[in-house]
C-alpha cells in the first residue's frame, strides 16, 4: 500500500514538474482586451484598454499597431524594456508611462526582469471598426 502511495505521489510530482516546465518555456506576453467603448464625442473612434502581462523574461515580438491608433501605456507592475521606432531602448518602471503615435514601430517590448513578472495597461484611441490591434513586423 505504501509503495502504491509513493508511486502515485512520484507520478503526480513528475507530471506537475512537466506541466510547470511547459509553462515556464512560454515567453510570449499574455494580452487581454479589458475595456472597449465608443467615444461619444468623436464619431468613428473608440477607446480600448489592453492588459499586457509578461512572465519573467517574457516579451512581445516586434510589431506595429493600426495607423489610426494613438496609444498611451502605463506600467502597472515590474519594469518594461521598450523601443519605439529607432529611438533608444528605455526601461519604464511601475507608475511610469510612454506613448506611441499612429504608424510607430515597436521593436522592443519585454519584461526587464528574468525573475519577476511585469504588467502594463495600453490604452488605444483607434478607429471603432478596427478589430486587430497588433501586427507583427515581418523581417
Each residue of 19-45: pLDDT tens digit?
Answer: 333 344 458 899 999 999 999 999 999
Using one digit for the tens of pLDDT, what is the confidence trace for 16-26?
333 333 344 45
Residue 41: partners with Cβ closer than 8 Å, 6 or more residues away: none
**Nearest-CA neighbor of 32 among 120, 130, 136?**
120
> Is residue 117 classed as helix, strand or coil in its secondary structure?
coil
Per-residue confidence at 14, pLDDT binned at 50, 70, 90? very low
One-character DSSP codes across 109-133: EEES-SSS-EEEEEEEEEETT----
> In this structure, what C-alpha cell is assigned to residue 89?
531602448
pTM of the model: 0.77
Distance (Å, rounded) from C-alpha 131 to C-alpha 28? 21
Amino acid at each position: 500500500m505504501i509503495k502504491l502511495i509513493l508511486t502515485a505521489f512520484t507520478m503526480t510530482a513528475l507530471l506537475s514538474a512537466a506541466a510547470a516546465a511547459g509553462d515556464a518555456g512560454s515567453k510570449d506576453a499574455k494580452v487581454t482586451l479589458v475595456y472597449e467603448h465608443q467615444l461619444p464625442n468623436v464619431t468613428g473612434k473608440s477607446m480600448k484598454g489592453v492588459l499586457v502581462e509578461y512572465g519573467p523574461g517574457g516579451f512581445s515580438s516586434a510589431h506595429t499597431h493600426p495607423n489610426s491608433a494613438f496609444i498611451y501605456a502605463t506600467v502597472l507592475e515590474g519594469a518594461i524594456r521598450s523601443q519605439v521606432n529607432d529611438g533608444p531602448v528605455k526601461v519604464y518602471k511601475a507608475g511610469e508611462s510612454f506613448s506611441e503615435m499612429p504608424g510607430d514601430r515597436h521593436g522592443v517590448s519585454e519584461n526587464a526582469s528574468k525573475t519577476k513578472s511585469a504588467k502594463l495597461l495600453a490604452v488605444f484611441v483607434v478607429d471603432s471598426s478596427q478589430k486587430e490591434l497588433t501586427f507583427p513586423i515581418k523581417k
